[in-house]
Amino acid sequence: MFRQLLKLAAVLIVIAAAGVLLNPSPEKHRDTIAQEMGRRSQIADLLQLGRITAFFSEYHSFGVGSYTTVNDKVVSIGAYGFVFVRENAVVTEPR
């Protein structure tokens, strides 16, 4: 029983350490925001709105993950080397 508990603790420590080491940087968040906004909207791509939004974003880290905000709204969330841009945070063209 103690051996299984020790193995579980070791696995959890490795997972947490990997999260800290792979936490996306502010530059990774900004690049992903700019690319995603350009991909989702041709107008935003033309006007470089992704770069402008990324420039004004504020980076926040909590060890194993991170996020960026613009005007107190979460724009992107990152963990383990991946960054996800929230759907409603990206400029889209009207339908």
Name the pLDDT band for 87 (thresholds 50, 70, 90). Answer: confident
* Average pLDDT of the residues in 11-16: 96
Widest distance between CA atoms in the chain: 61
Q: Is the entire prediction scored with pTM above 0.75? A: yes
Q: Give, for 56, the enclosing helix (H) or strand (E).
A: helix 49-56
Q: How many CA atoms lie within 13 A of 85 on its CB side?
A: 22
User: How far apart (Å, rounded) are the C-alpha atoms in residues 2 and 26?
Assistant: 41
User: How far apart (Å, rounded) are the C-alpha atoms in residues 27 and 81?
Assistant: 12
pLDDT value for 36 = 92
